[in-house]
Protein backbone atom coordinates (compact mmCIF):
# COMPACT_ATOMS: atom_id res chain seq x y z
CA UNK A 1 0.00 0.00 0.00
CA UNK A 2 1.37 3.42 -0.98
CA UNK A 3 1.99 5.80 1.93
CA UNK A 4 -0.36 8.76 1.42
CA UNK A 5 1.18 10.79 4.26
CA UNK A 6 3.78 12.05 1.78
CA UNK A 7 1.04 13.63 -0.36
CA UNK A 8 1.33 17.36 0.39
CA UNK A 9 -2.20 18.40 -0.49
CA UNK A 10 -1.78 21.95 0.79
CA UNK A 11 1.16 22.45 -1.56
CA UNK A 12 -0.87 20.97 -4.42
CA UNK A 13 -3.79 23.31 -3.67
CA UNK A 14 -1.51 26.32 -4.08
CA UNK A 15 -1.25 25.39 -7.77
CA UNK A 16 -5.00 25.95 -8.25
CA UNK A 17 -5.87 29.62 -7.64
CA UNK A 18 -9.64 29.15 -7.88
CA UNK A 19 -9.65 27.00 -4.74
CA UNK A 20 -8.72 29.99 -2.56
CA UNK A 21 -11.98 31.83 -3.14
CA UNK A 22 -15.00 32.21 -0.88
CA UNK A 23 -18.51 31.24 -2.00
CA UNK A 24 -21.45 32.54 0.04
CA UNK A 25 -18.93 33.66 2.68
CA UNK A 26 -17.64 30.10 3.00
CA UNK A 27 -14.41 28.58 1.68
CA UNK A 28 -15.08 26.92 -1.66
CA UNK A 29 -15.29 23.14 -1.46
CA UNK A 30 -15.20 21.91 -5.04
CA UNK A 31 -16.58 18.38 -5.34
CA UNK A 32 -17.74 18.50 -8.98
CA UNK A 33 -14.58 17.22 -10.63
CA UNK A 34 -16.34 14.61 -12.78
CA UNK A 35 -18.13 17.48 -14.52
CA UNK A 36 -14.95 19.49 -14.98
CA UNK A 37 -11.69 19.89 -13.13
CA UNK A 38 -10.09 23.13 -12.00
CA UNK A 39 -6.98 24.37 -13.77
CA UNK A 40 -3.49 24.70 -12.32
CA UNK A 41 -1.70 28.02 -12.67
CA UNK A 42 0.67 26.50 -15.22
CA UNK A 43 -2.24 25.76 -17.59
CA UNK A 44 -3.68 29.24 -17.14
CA UNK A 45 -0.27 30.78 -17.82
CA UNK A 46 0.33 28.62 -20.90
CA UNK A 47 -2.90 29.79 -22.53
CA UNK A 48 -2.20 33.39 -21.49
CA UNK A 49 1.34 33.19 -22.89
CA UNK A 50 0.07 31.90 -26.22
CA UNK A 51 -2.39 34.77 -26.62
CA UNK A 52 0.10 37.36 -25.44
CA UNK A 53 3.09 36.18 -27.45
CA UNK A 54 2.40 33.55 -30.11
CA UNK A 55 -1.18 33.98 -31.31
CA UNK A 56 -1.34 32.97 -34.98
CA UNK A 57 -2.90 30.26 -37.08
CA UNK A 58 -1.03 26.98 -37.41
CA UNK A 59 0.21 25.14 -40.52
CA UNK A 60 -0.71 28.16 -42.66
CA UNK A 61 2.09 30.70 -42.49
CA UNK A 62 5.84 31.18 -42.72
CA UNK A 63 6.04 34.21 -40.43
CA UNK A 64 7.56 33.99 -36.95
CA UNK A 65 4.32 33.88 -34.95
CA UNK A 66 2.82 31.15 -37.10
CA UNK A 67 6.03 29.15 -36.92
CA UNK A 68 6.11 29.35 -33.12
CA UNK A 69 2.42 28.52 -32.82
CA UNK A 70 2.76 25.56 -35.17
CA UNK A 71 5.78 24.19 -33.33
CA UNK A 72 4.03 24.45 -29.96
CA UNK A 73 0.86 22.89 -31.37
CA UNK A 74 2.69 19.95 -32.95
CA UNK A 75 4.71 19.31 -29.79
CA UNK A 76 1.50 18.71 -27.84
CA UNK A 77 0.46 15.90 -30.16
CA UNK A 78 3.67 14.09 -29.26
CA UNK A 79 3.03 14.79 -25.56
CA UNK A 80 -0.38 13.17 -25.95
CA UNK A 81 1.18 10.12 -27.58
CA UNK A 82 3.63 9.67 -24.72
CA UNK A 83 0.97 10.35 -22.08
CA UNK A 84 -1.28 7.52 -23.27
CA UNK A 85 1.61 5.33 -24.54
CA UNK A 86 0.29 5.21 -28.08
CA UNK A 87 2.43 3.80 -30.91
CA UNK A 88 2.35 6.75 -33.33
CA UNK A 89 1.91 10.50 -32.97
CA UNK A 90 -0.21 10.67 -36.14
CA UNK A 91 -2.80 8.40 -34.50
CA UNK A 92 -3.72 11.18 -32.04
CA UNK A 93 -6.56 13.28 -33.48
CA UNK A 94 -7.54 16.60 -31.89
CA UNK A 95 -11.31 16.97 -31.46
CA UNK A 96 -13.63 19.14 -29.36
CA UNK A 97 -13.93 16.48 -26.68
CA UNK A 98 -14.99 12.94 -25.93
CA UNK A 99 -18.46 13.47 -27.38
CA UNK A 100 -17.14 14.53 -30.78
CA UNK A 101 -14.60 11.71 -30.74
CA UNK A 102 -17.33 9.11 -30.24
CA UNK A 103 -19.52 10.67 -32.92
CA UNK A 104 -16.58 10.72 -35.32
CA UNK A 105 -16.01 6.99 -34.86
CA UNK A 106 -19.74 6.26 -35.02
CA UNK A 107 -20.28 8.02 -38.34
CA UNK A 108 -16.93 7.58 -40.09
CA UNK A 109 -15.94 4.09 -38.99
CA UNK A 110 -18.91 2.13 -37.69
CA UNK A 111 -21.84 3.29 -39.82
CA UNK A 112 -20.31 2.31 -43.20
CA UNK A 113 -19.67 -1.20 -41.83
CA UNK A 114 -23.26 -1.84 -40.71
CA UNK A 115 -26.10 -3.67 -42.40
CA UNK A 116 -29.67 -4.14 -41.14
CA UNK A 117 -29.67 -6.57 -38.23
CA UNK A 118 -26.05 -5.95 -37.24
CA UNK A 119 -25.36 -5.14 -33.60
CA UNK A 120 -23.46 -2.59 -31.53
CA UNK A 121 -22.72 -3.47 -27.90
CA UNK A 122 -22.45 -0.98 -25.03
CA UNK A 123 -22.82 -1.31 -21.25
CA UNK A 124 -25.70 -0.35 -18.96
CA UNK A 125 -23.66 2.37 -17.26
CA UNK A 126 -22.83 4.57 -20.25
CA UNK A 127 -23.00 8.36 -20.40
CA UNK A 128 -25.49 9.67 -22.96
CA UNK A 129 -22.51 10.58 -25.17
CA UNK A 130 -21.81 6.87 -25.52
CA UNK A 131 -25.46 5.93 -26.07
CA UNK A 132 -27.09 8.49 -28.35
CA UNK A 133 -24.49 8.40 -31.19
CA UNK A 134 -25.00 4.65 -31.45
CA UNK A 135 -28.77 5.03 -31.42
CA UNK A 136 -28.49 7.51 -34.29
CA UNK A 137 -26.31 5.10 -36.25
CA UNK A 138 -28.72 2.24 -35.60
CA UNK A 139 -31.67 4.34 -36.75
CA UNK A 140 -29.90 5.13 -40.02
CA UNK A 141 -28.69 1.60 -40.75
CA UNK A 142 -31.26 -0.76 -39.25
CA UNK A 143 -28.69 -2.07 -36.78
CA UNK A 144 -29.55 -3.00 -33.19
CA UNK A 145 -28.11 -1.60 -29.96
CA UNK A 146 -27.41 -4.26 -27.34
CA UNK A 147 -26.66 -3.51 -23.68
CA UNK A 148 -24.42 -5.53 -21.37
CA UNK A 149 -26.00 -5.73 -17.88
CA UNK A 150 -24.59 -4.75 -14.48
CA UNK A 151 -25.22 -5.92 -10.92
CA UNK A 152 -26.59 -3.87 -8.01
CA UNK A 153 -23.10 -2.79 -7.01
CA UNK A 154 -22.74 -1.17 -10.41
CA UNK A 155 -20.30 -3.71 -11.84
CA UNK A 156 -20.32 -5.28 -15.30
CA UNK A 157 -21.46 -8.89 -15.36
CA UNK A 158 -18.60 -10.29 -17.42
CA UNK A 159 -20.19 -13.62 -18.28
CA UNK A 160 -23.35 -11.91 -19.48
CA UNK A 161 -21.23 -9.43 -21.43
CA UNK A 162 -19.45 -12.29 -23.19
CA UNK A 163 -22.79 -13.92 -24.01
CA UNK A 164 -23.95 -10.77 -25.83
CA UNK A 165 -21.63 -11.46 -28.77
CA UNK A 166 -23.14 -12.94 -31.90
CA UNK A 167 -21.96 -13.16 -35.52
CA UNK A 168 -23.83 -9.86 -36.03
CA UNK A 169 -21.82 -7.96 -33.39
CA UNK A 170 -19.79 -5.33 -35.27
CA UNK A 171 -18.59 -2.88 -32.62
CA UNK A 172 -18.23 -2.39 -28.87
CA UNK A 173 -18.17 0.98 -27.06
CA UNK A 174 -17.45 1.05 -23.33
CA UNK A 175 -16.71 3.56 -20.60
CA UNK A 176 -13.41 2.95 -18.84
CA UNK A 177 -14.97 4.46 -15.70
CA UNK A 178 -18.56 5.49 -15.00
CA UNK A 179 -19.25 9.17 -14.44
CA UNK A 180 -22.38 8.43 -12.39
CA UNK A 181 -21.11 5.54 -10.27
CA UNK A 182 -17.32 5.75 -10.38
CA UNK A 183 -17.03 2.08 -11.39
CA UNK A 184 -13.77 1.19 -13.12
CA UNK A 185 -14.64 -1.45 -15.66
CA UNK A 186 -12.42 -4.49 -16.34
CA UNK A 187 -11.78 -3.10 -19.79
CA UNK A 188 -8.75 -5.21 -20.65
CA UNK A 189 -10.78 -8.39 -20.16
CA UNK A 190 -13.69 -6.87 -22.08
CA UNK A 191 -11.43 -5.85 -24.97
CA UNK A 192 -9.89 -9.31 -25.12
CA UNK A 193 -13.34 -10.92 -25.25
CA UNK A 194 -14.38 -8.61 -28.09
CA UNK A 195 -11.19 -9.29 -30.02
CA UNK A 196 -11.79 -13.04 -29.72
CA UNK A 197 -14.85 -12.30 -31.88
CA UNK A 198 -12.84 -9.95 -34.18
CA UNK A 199 -14.88 -6.97 -32.94
CA UNK A 200 -13.21 -3.53 -32.57
CA UNK A 201 -13.58 -1.63 -29.28
CA UNK A 202 -13.80 2.06 -28.40
CA UNK A 203 -13.03 3.15 -24.84
CA UNK A 204 -14.62 6.30 -23.45
CA UNK A 205 -11.79 7.49 -21.22
CA UNK A 206 -13.38 10.76 -20.09
CA UNK A 207 -13.56 9.74 -16.42
CA UNK A 208 -10.44 7.59 -16.31
CA UNK A 209 -7.69 9.70 -17.82
CA UNK A 210 -7.26 12.03 -14.82
CA UNK A 211 -7.24 9.21 -12.27
CA UNK A 212 -5.44 6.25 -13.84
CA UNK A 213 -2.24 5.72 -15.83
CA UNK A 214 -3.36 5.16 -19.41
CA UNK A 215 -1.47 2.61 -21.49
CA UNK A 216 -2.97 2.21 -24.95
CA UNK A 217 -0.38 -0.39 -25.89
CA UNK A 218 -1.29 -2.62 -22.94
CA UNK A 219 -5.04 -2.12 -23.30
CA UNK A 220 -4.99 -2.91 -27.03
CA UNK A 221 -8.26 -1.05 -27.62
CA UNK A 222 -8.99 0.14 -31.15
CA UNK A 223 -10.07 3.67 -30.25
CA UNK A 224 -9.63 5.77 -27.10
CA UNK A 225 -11.39 9.09 -26.44
CA UNK A 226 -10.88 11.67 -23.70
CA UNK A 227 -11.44 15.35 -22.89
CA UNK A 228 -8.93 17.93 -21.73
CA UNK A 229 -11.24 19.71 -19.29
CA UNK A 230 -11.69 16.57 -17.17
CA UNK A 231 -7.91 16.27 -16.70
CA UNK A 232 -7.05 19.83 -15.60
CA UNK A 233 -6.84 21.34 -19.09
CA UNK A 234 -9.07 23.78 -21.02
CA UNK A 235 -12.56 22.99 -22.28
CA UNK A 236 -13.35 22.55 -25.95
CA UNK A 237 -10.46 20.25 -26.77
CA UNK A 238 -10.02 16.50 -26.58
CA UNK A 239 -8.35 13.58 -28.26
CA UNK A 240 -9.40 10.60 -30.32
CA UNK A 241 -6.70 7.98 -30.60
CA UNK A 242 -7.20 5.20 -33.12
CA UNK A 243 -5.19 2.41 -34.65
CA UNK A 244 -3.64 3.47 -37.94
CA UNK A 245 -5.27 0.65 -39.89
CA UNK A 246 -8.73 1.89 -38.87
CA UNK A 247 -8.03 5.61 -39.22
CA UNK A 248 -6.73 5.17 -42.76
CA UNK A 249 -9.84 3.20 -43.68
CA UNK A 250 -12.21 5.85 -42.30
CA UNK A 251 -13.78 8.55 -44.42
CA UNK A 252 -13.41 12.19 -43.28
CA UNK A 253 -15.93 13.37 -40.70
CA UNK A 254 -15.92 17.01 -41.86
CA UNK A 255 -14.64 18.82 -44.93
CA UNK A 256 -12.68 22.05 -45.11
CA UNK A 257 -9.23 23.51 -44.95
CA UNK A 258 -6.24 21.52 -43.66
CA UNK A 259 -7.79 18.08 -44.27
CA UNK A 260 -6.96 18.09 -47.98
CA UNK A 261 -4.01 17.33 -50.22
CA UNK A 262 -5.43 18.63 -53.49
CA UNK A 263 -8.79 20.13 -54.47
CA UNK A 264 -10.44 20.62 -57.85
CA UNK A 265 -14.11 21.04 -58.70
CA UNK A 266 -14.06 17.46 -59.91
CA UNK A 267 -12.53 15.77 -56.89
CA UNK A 268 -10.58 16.15 -53.64
CA UNK A 269 -7.62 14.17 -52.40
CA UNK A 270 -7.59 14.00 -48.61
CA UNK A 271 -4.60 14.62 -46.37
CA UNK A 272 -3.14 11.70 -44.42
CA UNK A 273 -3.89 11.25 -40.73
CA UNK A 274 -4.16 13.14 -38.47
CA UNK A 275 -5.01 16.10 -40.73
CA UNK A 276 -7.75 14.13 -42.50
CA UNK A 277 -9.93 14.49 -39.39
CA UNK A 278 -8.99 18.05 -38.40
CA UNK A 279 -10.84 20.32 -40.83
CA UNK A 280 -10.64 24.06 -40.25
CA UNK A 281 -8.74 26.18 -37.78
CA UNK A 282 -8.19 24.10 -34.65
CA UNK A 283 -8.60 25.13 -31.03
CA UNK A 284 -4.96 26.13 -30.84
CA UNK A 285 -5.02 27.66 -27.37
CA UNK A 286 -6.92 24.61 -26.12
CA UNK A 287 -4.21 22.32 -27.47
CA UNK A 288 -1.53 24.46 -25.81
CA UNK A 289 -3.43 24.25 -22.52
CA UNK A 290 -3.83 20.49 -22.90
CA UNK A 291 -0.09 20.19 -23.30
CA UNK A 292 0.44 22.16 -20.09
CA UNK A 293 -2.07 19.93 -18.28
CA UNK A 294 -0.16 16.85 -19.42
CA UNK A 295 3.08 18.43 -18.19
CA UNK A 296 1.43 19.07 -14.83
CA UNK A 297 0.13 15.52 -14.48
CA UNK A 298 3.50 14.15 -15.58
CA UNK A 299 5.08 16.07 -12.68
CA UNK A 300 2.99 14.07 -10.19
CA UNK A 301 3.50 10.52 -8.98
CA UNK A 302 0.40 8.73 -10.32
CA UNK A 303 0.81 5.97 -7.75
CA UNK A 304 0.51 8.57 -4.99
CA UNK A 305 -2.40 10.26 -6.77
CA UNK A 306 -4.32 6.99 -6.97
CA UNK A 307 -3.61 6.11 -3.33
CA UNK A 308 -4.63 9.54 -2.06
CA UNK A 309 -7.81 9.65 -4.13
CA UNK A 310 -8.66 6.14 -2.92
CA UNK A 311 -8.29 7.37 0.66
CA UNK A 312 -10.60 10.30 -0.06
CA UNK A 313 -13.21 8.06 -1.68
CA UNK A 314 -13.16 5.55 1.20
CA UNK A 315 -13.42 8.33 3.79
CA UNK A 316 -16.39 9.89 1.99
CA UNK A 317 -18.11 6.52 1.59
CA UNK A 318 -17.68 5.46 5.22
CA UNK A 319 -18.66 8.90 6.53
CA UNK A 320 -21.84 8.82 4.45
CA UNK A 321 -22.73 5.39 5.80
CA UNK A 322 -22.32 6.64 9.38
CA UNK A 323 -24.78 9.48 8.73
CA UNK A 324 -27.58 7.01 8.07
CA UNK A 325 -30.65 7.53 5.85
CA UNK A 326 -28.56 8.28 2.75
CA UNK A 327 -28.42 5.41 0.26
CA UNK A 328 -25.27 4.85 -1.77
CA UNK A 329 -25.76 4.34 -5.50
CA UNK A 330 -22.96 2.22 -6.93
CA UNK A 331 -20.64 0.37 -4.56
CA UNK A 332 -18.19 -1.28 -6.93
CA UNK A 333 -14.97 -2.59 -5.44
CA UNK A 334 -12.86 -0.74 -8.01
CA UNK A 335 -13.73 2.95 -8.41
CA UNK A 336 -12.47 6.36 -9.37
CA UNK A 337 -13.26 8.85 -6.55
CA UNK A 338 -16.98 9.29 -7.24
CA UNK A 339 -19.67 8.84 -4.58
CA UNK A 340 -23.34 9.03 -5.60
CA UNK A 341 -26.21 8.85 -3.15
CA UNK A 342 -29.89 9.58 -2.57
CA UNK A 343 -32.11 10.37 0.41
CA UNK A 344 -35.51 8.64 0.66
CA UNK A 345 -37.45 11.89 1.12
CA UNK A 346 -35.16 14.79 0.16
CA UNK A 347 -34.65 15.51 -3.54
CA UNK A 348 -31.11 15.67 -4.85
CA UNK A 349 -31.61 19.22 -6.12
CA UNK A 350 -32.69 20.39 -2.65
CA UNK A 351 -29.57 18.82 -1.18
CA UNK A 352 -27.43 20.51 -3.81
CA UNK A 353 -29.04 23.90 -3.19
CA UNK A 354 -28.39 23.77 0.55
CA UNK A 355 -24.83 22.60 -0.01
CA UNK A 356 -24.24 25.59 -2.29
CA UNK A 357 -25.25 28.00 0.48
CA UNK A 358 -22.35 26.56 2.45
CA UNK A 359 -19.85 26.93 -0.38
CA UNK A 360 -19.97 23.28 -1.47
CA UNK A 361 -20.10 22.58 -5.22
CA UNK A 362 -21.54 19.18 -6.13
CA UNK A 363 -23.67 17.78 -8.95
CA UNK A 364 -27.34 16.94 -8.50
CA UNK A 365 -29.27 15.29 -11.32
CA UNK A 366 -29.15 12.34 -13.67
CA UNK A 367 -25.53 13.05 -14.69
CA UNK A 368 -26.32 12.49 -18.39
CA UNK A 369 -26.88 8.84 -17.48
CA UNK A 370 -30.65 8.41 -17.33
CA UNK A 371 -30.61 4.64 -17.98
CA UNK A 372 -28.49 4.05 -14.87
CA UNK A 373 -30.91 6.17 -12.84
CA UNK A 374 -33.75 3.99 -14.15
CA UNK A 375 -31.79 0.86 -13.18
CA UNK A 376 -31.62 2.02 -9.56
CA UNK A 377 -35.16 3.35 -9.56
CA UNK A 378 -34.22 6.96 -8.85
CA UNK A 379 -34.78 10.20 -10.75
CA UNK A 380 -31.52 11.81 -9.68
CA UNK A 381 -28.60 11.44 -7.31
CA UNK A 382 -26.29 13.76 -5.43
CA UNK A 383 -22.74 13.15 -6.59
CA UNK A 384 -19.48 14.22 -5.05
CA UNK A 385 -16.54 13.62 -7.35
CA UNK A 386 -13.13 14.13 -5.85
CA UNK A 387 -9.65 15.12 -6.95
CA UNK A 388 -6.16 14.97 -5.54
CA UNK A 389 -6.54 18.63 -4.47
CA UNK A 390 -9.47 17.86 -2.16
CA UNK A 391 -8.94 17.16 1.54
CA UNK A 392 -10.29 14.94 4.30
CA UNK A 393 -11.29 18.11 6.15
CA UNK A 394 -13.41 19.19 3.19
CA UNK A 395 -15.20 15.85 3.25
CA UNK A 396 -15.86 16.24 6.98
CA UNK A 397 -17.28 19.73 6.37
CA UNK A 398 -19.45 18.33 3.59
CA UNK A 399 -20.80 15.63 5.90
CA UNK A 400 -21.59 18.22 8.57
CA UNK A 401 -23.75 20.09 6.06
CA UNK A 402 -25.45 16.84 5.02
CA UNK A 403 -26.37 16.24 8.66
CA UNK A 404 -27.91 19.72 8.74
CA UNK A 405 -29.86 18.96 5.56
CA UNK A 406 -31.58 16.08 7.34
CA UNK A 407 -32.56 18.41 10.19
CA UNK A 408 -33.90 21.09 7.84
CA UNK A 409 -36.24 18.61 6.14
CA UNK A 410 -37.09 16.61 9.28
Domains of the chain and any CATH numbers: 4-30+301-408 (3.90.1150.10), 44-298 (3.40.640.10)
Task: Output the tens digit of pLDDT for each of the chain's 410 residues.
Answer: 566 678 999 999 999 999 999 999 999 999 999 999 999 999 999 999 999 999 999 998 899 999 999 999 999 999 999 999 999 999 999 999 999 999 999 999 999 999 999 999 999 999 999 999 999 999 999 999 999 999 999 999 999 999 999 999 999 999 999 999 999 999 999 999 999 999 999 999 999 999 999 999 999 999 999 999 999 999 999 999 999 999 999 999 999 999 999 999 999 999 999 999 999 999 999 999 999 999 999 999 999 999 999 999 999 999 999 998 899 999 999 999 999 999 999 999 999 999 999 999 999 999 999 999 999 999 999 999 999 999 999 999 999 999 998 888 86
For 342, the 3-state DSSP assignment is: strand
DSSP 255-314: -STTSEEEE-SS-EEEPPTTGGG--SS--HHHHHHHHHHHHHHHTS-HHHHHHHHHHHHH
**Which helix (H) or strand (E) covers residue 193, if one does?**
helix 187-196
Contact 133, 116 (CB under 8 A): no
Q: Which residues pair with 262 in a beta bridge?
A: 269
As to burial, measured by CB atoms within 10 angstroms (0-12 exposed, 13-18 middle, 19+ buried), residue 322 is exposed
Angle (CA) 58-60-64 rounded to 5° is 70
**Is 368 in the active site?**
yes
348-383: pLDDT as tens digits? 999 999 999 999 999 999 999 999 999 999 999 999
Question: Which one of the listed residues 6, 245, 313, 368 is annotated catalytic?
Answer: 368
Contact between 161 and 201 (Cβ < 8 Å): no
Beta carbons within 8 Å of 259's beta carbon, 6+ residues apart: 252, 270, 271, 275, 276, 277, 278, 279
> What angle do the packed helices 348-357 and 392-408 form, to 10 degrees?
120
Amino acid sequence: MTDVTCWDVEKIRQNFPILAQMVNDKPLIYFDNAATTQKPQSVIEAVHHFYQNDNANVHRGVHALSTRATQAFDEVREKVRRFINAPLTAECIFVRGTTEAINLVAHSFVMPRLNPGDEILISAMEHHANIVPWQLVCQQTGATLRVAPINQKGEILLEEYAQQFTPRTKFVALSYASNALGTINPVKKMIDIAHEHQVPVLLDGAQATAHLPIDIHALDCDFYAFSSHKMYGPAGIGVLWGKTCWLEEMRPYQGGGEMIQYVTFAKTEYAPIPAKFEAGTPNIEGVIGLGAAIDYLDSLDMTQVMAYEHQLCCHATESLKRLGDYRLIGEANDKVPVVSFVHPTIHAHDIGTILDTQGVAIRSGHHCAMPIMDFYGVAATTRLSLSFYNTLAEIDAFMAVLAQVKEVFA
